Structure 1
Amino acid sequence: MSTYVIGDLQGCFTPLQQLLAQIDYHPEQDELWFVGDIVNRGPQSLSCLRFVKQLVESGRGRMVLGNHDLHLLACAAGLERFRSGKDTIDDILNAPDRDELIHWLRQQPLYLTHPVYNLAMVHAGLPPQWTHTQAALEAEAVAEVLRSPQWQHALQRHLFGSEPRCWSDTLAGWDRLRYSLNAFCRLRYCDANGCMEFQCKKAPGQQPAGYAPWFIHPQRRNKDKTIVFGHWSTLGAFDGYNVHALDTGCLWGGQLTAWRVEDNTRHRLQCPQTMTPGK
């Protein structure tokens, strides 16, 4: 049995199938974990979502929610102001199984740990101040809201926004939930106090002064588990500081990555360019 963690799909279903053939994937014995952003911008969002759903329901896969997955939920909740001409989620919103897919997606977590390996998975990152115990608690608090009958109201009125940017143990209510959701799904750079910077999507070295990649802060309290994450295509295939970055930009004509947990090896497939950065 092998466990593979797959980078951001963003609707790139054909490259996923090609990568699985390349690694000689055996669905009856191998397990696939997905770092989130299953959908959007690529041409086959519906196929990606149905495939991952089937895997998770069969017990042969796991996923965490990414920012594009949350964007899909927001659009399904009627938040038209968030719609973009770049979106490729109409096939999901118009699908006959739309309600089933959206309900299932709302049940998915924001943070996972592996039952055997000393491994955690998140879409974007963890604030330096958080331990893994705290990350699990904060993730579950947000997940409870997304699973609840009030999920549409929460997305429409409370969960989206970029404030507060700074962590404090005294954060409460919607502010705490919003900070946590942004950390799990949007974090790239932060300062030593856990204040997040959301504007810069560039590679390290081009960020504003005072900010650094979340995983390099010397006092980071979550170094005790290996963390796998996606979200940051300009970072590329980074391994260090006990983290593995797996978004290698398939959508942009980069690669789709599968990282095999058992022997710490990367498998890559070159992807056709579907989107142009900045377009």
Structure 2
Amino acid sequence: MPYTPFKFFAKNQQGKDFVVGDIHGSFTALEHLLKQAAFQPATDRLFAVGDLIDRGAESPRVTEFLNYPWFYSIMGNHERMLLDSADDPNLYKSWTSYNGGAWWNSVSEQQRDTIRQAVVELPIAFEVATGIGRVGIVHADIPNTMSWTQFVQEMQSNPECTEYALWSRNRFRRIRTLGCGSPIQGIDHVVFGHSPTPQVLQAGNVHFIDTGAALQEEAELGTLTLLQIHPKLSTHQLNTRTLNLPNTAE
């Protein structure tokens, strides 16, 4: 099956839908948070904003979760670094030394192949039909000049648009500076991760939900956030420090 960077999900007729912020190898914390939210694997769905790996000590569990039938993830910039570093020695050194990828050095070659095969298939964007409307999910950002429809079309053929979706913090910085932001047209809600924030940051129809699960050394962070998007909008959070899990934030 050819790679598709965009995937649409019809409305869940049986259960609830959630979006989780950047997990960064904190999978035990995710399990606790799902239990706290009364997540039901038989009927509920969990969507992830990417950055499943790095920093947290449980990054090798990424394929375990990607194999669950109720778990769906887009690609984050850390998954992109994993893939791109295979052919770029300088990026490999930067990723494993300074960007949370040290765990990769202790993974067997067979497991590396398994992880690469799973990660390379991750889309860039999701759209989910829900009880609160159409919800878009992208890792970092979409260009300020684009509607959701324009972004979906452009992203499928324009590498620069994909890079923006994986790396940009322009919208986040503008909202943090001005306290407001323009809504994204053509969609009811859009959920982003990538940019750590002490609390969920919402402006218009945009939600930033990376609350720094693996950044426990930073006083205002160290929280994993779960945003319920169906059938209603609500937030569940877990302080990852309470679990005393090791991390490799370097």
TM-score range, shorter chain: 0.7 to 0.9
- Which of 229, 234, 250 lines up with 1:265 in the alignment? 234
**Against the structure 1 CA distance between its residues 79 and 236, is the aligned structure 2 distance closer, same or farther, given a 3 Å change threshold?**
farther
**What does residue range 1-279 of structure 1 map to in structure 2 within 5 Å?**
1-47=15-61, 49-55=62-68, 58=69, 60-75=70-85, 77-82=86-91, 83-84=93-94, 85-86=97-98, 87-90=101-104, 93-94=107-108, 96-116=110-130, 117-141=133-157, 176-177=158-159, 179-189=160-170, 204-205=176-177, 216-217=181-182, 222=185, 224-234=187-197, 236-253=199-216, 254-261=222-229, 262-272=231-241, 274=247
Paired AA for residue 24 in structure 2: Q
Paired AA for residue 227 in structure 1: V
The count of aligned residue pairs is 219
- Bigger proportion of residues as strand: 2
User: Whole-Å Cα distance in 2 between the matches of residues 89 and 275 of structure 1?
Assistant: 8
User: Whole-Å Cα distance in 2 between the matches of residues 94 and 203 of structure 1?
Assistant: 42
The offset of 1:30, in angstroms, is 1.0
Hey, which bits of structure 1, 4+ residues long, moved more than 6 A? 200-203
User: Whole-Å Cα distance in 2 between the matches of residues 138 and 109 of structure 1?
Assistant: 14
**Against the structure 1 CA distance between its residues 235 and 21, is the aligned structure 2 distance closer, same or farther, given a 3 Å change threshold?**
closer
The offset of 1:233, in angstroms, is 0.4
- With normalisation by structure 1, the TM-score equals 0.70
**Against the structure 1 CA distance between its residues 134 and 223, is the aligned structure 2 distance closer, same or farther, given a 3 Å change threshold?**
closer
User: Whole-Å Cα distance in 2 between the matches of residues 80 and 138 of structure 1?
Assistant: 30
Superposition RMSD in Å: 2.6
User: Whole-Å Cα distance in 2 between the matches of residues 114 and 33 of structure 1?
Assistant: 9
The offset of 1:260, in angstroms, is 0.7
**Against the structure 1 CA distance between its residues 270 and 235, is the aligned structure 2 distance closer, same or farther, given a 3 Å change threshold?**
closer
**Against the structure 1 CA distance between its residues 96 and 109, is the aligned structure 2 distance closer, same or farther, given a 3 Å change threshold?**
same
Name which structure has the greater RCO, CA cutoff 8 Å, separation 6+: 2
Preserved CA contact (<8 Å) 2:66 2:73: no
> Residues 141-196 of structure 1, C-alpha deviation per residue, up to 9 Å, x if partnerless?
3xxxxxxxxxxxxxxxxxxxxxxxxxxxxxxxxxx41x212210111116xxxxxx
Unaligned regions of 5+ residues in structure 2, if any? 1-14, 217-221
Preserved CA contact (<8 Å) 1:226 1:242: yes
> Residues 91-127 of structure 1, C-alpha deviation per residue, up to 9 Å, x if partnerless?
6852533223212211111011014441100001111
User: Whole-Å Cα distance in 1 between the matches of residues 200 and 23 of structure 2?
Assistant: 15
Preserved CA contact (<8 Å) 2:63 2:118: no
**Against the structure 1 CA distance between its residues 29 and 92, is the aligned structure 2 distance closer, same or farther, given a 3 Å change threshold?**
farther
Preserved CA contact (<8 Å) 1:31 1:61: yes
The offset of 1:5, in angstroms, is 0.3
Identity of aligned residues (%): 24
User: Whole-Å Cα distance in 2 between the matches of residues 95 and 29 of structure 1?
Assistant: 35
- With normalisation by structure 2, the TM-score equals 0.78
Paired AA for residue 73 in structure 1: L
